[in-house]
């Protein structure tokens, strides 16, 4: 098994935010969360060390709540990437396996690529492997310098590169796999004789070559996977790239998406074939949508949603933490939250499941059984159960359970005052 070290100590000044950079989100999932998930979904990693620094307490709290198995390791002061990795040495001093190192701000990295990278490293017998990518305009990215046999000679930071090195299009992706037992001594030999005056992680390559160790390069197939986030502009672009990847996957798998340009679907959402997603839908969080469903236009799924086959979620309908069985329709202007809804149910326009108590701040559950019909503009006040086949009259306010096949009506009787308008006009 492999250990991981994930760098999450940076301030992210260009984000211009009070939130630590790695805690910014795409589809309400943090950048750090994407990286941790990619590493752990390989099935090859059994321990994570997260290097924290700027607002360390907030990052540590996030890890405790969401990734309790990941160990935060404080870097203070922050003296560079090499110094950051060295903070994990006390926890790994007796470890003899492989260590993978990644930045915590690359949310597009996939488990498949991480796994392939680790397997490439071990299969080639390398002591150190660096992930690279090809860019037509590398800009300020570190350049990969290879030996004639294709092995890795060094990585040169853009600020330290000469004119010839700046022409190199292969760049350092910032992901490393190390034979920890052999490479660990390198961290005691790092120097700060560079433009930044920092301990560069890249200098371990020079040390490895000087000590007769094998350094190799793995070239990533999709350069977008190591797209790093340093600003809100880049955060928005990463979200677009992630959404585009997700949309393409669903289209390939038989989902019909009418307008990909206005449709946003989280990567953790599953969708069955022949489901149609209409324009301007936002599907967030982790959801499972069956086949032959119709979603939208202008629908919002907020996560924790399970839709069986042939469900319709129509325009301006919002759904959260709700399971809906097959052939049920909620077609217009409706909110369904914290609910279990059966099969062959029709939810009328303007219906709301009132699941939140503002006094206790508790959320309660609504249960609607099979074959229920709910009239327009109804409010279902949880906790409540509407049994099978019941009908709710329009403008109903349901505050207690409704028995099977009953009709529930809460509105006042209709009064008609004849000639009322004429009398008011004279």
Cα dist from 176 to 5, 118, 139, 165, 300, whole Å: 10, 9, 21, 21, 39
Inter-residue contact 271 to 289 (CB < 8 Å): yes
Q: Are 277 and 265 in contact (CB under 8 A)?
A: yes
Q: Count the Cβ atoms, other than its own, within 10 Å of residue 400.
A: 9
- How far the first Cα of the chain sits from its last, in Å, is 90
Q: How far apart are CA 59 and CA 57, in angstroms?
A: 6
Residue 111, token pair as written in the block? 């488990």
d(CA 311, CA 17): 41
- Cβ-in-10-Å burial (0-12, 13-18, 19+) of 378 comes to buried
Residue ranges with strand state E in 180-325:
215-219, 256-257, 264-265, 269-271, 276-277, 282-283, 287-289, 294-295, 300-301, 305-307, 312-315, 318-324
In three-state secondary structure terms, 411 is coil
Whether a cis peptide bond, with omega within 30° of 0, leads into 133 is no
Report the greatest alpha carbon distance in the chain. Answer: 105
Long-range contacts of the stretch 295-302 (C-beta < 8 A, 24+): 301/269
The residue from 54, 83, 250, 332 that is catalytic is 332
> Other CB atoms closer than 10 Å to residue 144's CB: what's the count?
27
Residue 24 falls in the annotated catalytic set: no
The bridge status of strand 25-26 relative to strand 29-30 is antiparallel
Q: Catalytic residues, which ones? A: 332
């Amino acid at each position: 098994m492999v250990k991981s070290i994930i760098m999450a100590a940076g301030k992210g000044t260009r984000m211009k935010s009070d939130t630590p950079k790695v805690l910014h989100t795409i589809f309400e999932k943090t950048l750090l969360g994407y990286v941790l998930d990619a590493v752990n979904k390989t099935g090859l990693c059994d321990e994570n060390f997260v290097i924290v620094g700027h607002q360390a307490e907030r990052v540590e709290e996030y890890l405790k709540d969401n990734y309790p198995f990941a160990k935060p390791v404080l870097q203070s002061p922050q003296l560079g990437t090499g110094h950051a990795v060295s903070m994990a040495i006390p926890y790994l001093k007796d470890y003899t396996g492989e260590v993978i190192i990644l930045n915590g701000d690359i949310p597009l990295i996939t488990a498949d690529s991480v796994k392939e990278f680790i397997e490439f490293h071990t299969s080639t017998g390398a002591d150190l492997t660096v992930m690279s990518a090809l860019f037509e305009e590398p800009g300020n990215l570190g350049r990969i310098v290879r030996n004639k046999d294709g092995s890795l000679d060094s990585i040169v930071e853009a600020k330290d590169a000469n004119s010839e090195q700046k022409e190199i299009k292969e760049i350092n992706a910032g992901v490393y796999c190390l034979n920890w037992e052999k490479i660990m001594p390198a961290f005691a030999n790092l120097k700060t004789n560079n433009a930044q005056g920092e301990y560069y992680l890249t200098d371990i390559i020079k040390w490895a070559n000087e000590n007769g160790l094998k350094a190799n390069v793995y070239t990533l197939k999709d350069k977008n996977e190591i797209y790093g986030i340093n600003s809100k502009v880049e955060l928005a672009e990463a979200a677009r790239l992630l959404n585009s990847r997700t949309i393409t996957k669903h289209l390939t798998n038989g989902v019909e998406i009418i307008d990909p340009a206005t449709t946003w679907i989280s990567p953790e959402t599953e969708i069955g074939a022949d489901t149609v997603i209409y324009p301007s839908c936002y599907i967030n969080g982790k959801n499972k949508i069956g086949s032959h469903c119709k979603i939208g236009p202008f629908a919002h799924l907020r996560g924790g949603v399970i839709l069986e086959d042939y469900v319709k979620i129509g325009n301006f309908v919002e759904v959260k933490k709700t399971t809906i069985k097959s052939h049920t329709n909620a077609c217009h202007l409706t909110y369904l939250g914290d609910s279990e809804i059966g099969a062959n149910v029709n939810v009328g326009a303007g219906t709301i499941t009132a699941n939140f108590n503002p006094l206790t701040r508790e959320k309660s559950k609504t249960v609607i059984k099979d074959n229920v019909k709910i009239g327009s503009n109804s409010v279902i006040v949880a906790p409540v159960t509407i049994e099978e086949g019941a009908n709710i009259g329009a403008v109903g306010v349901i505050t207690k359970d409704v028995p099977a096949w009953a009709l529930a009506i809460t509105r006042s009787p209709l009064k008609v005052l004849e000639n009322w308008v004429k009398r008011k006009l004279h």
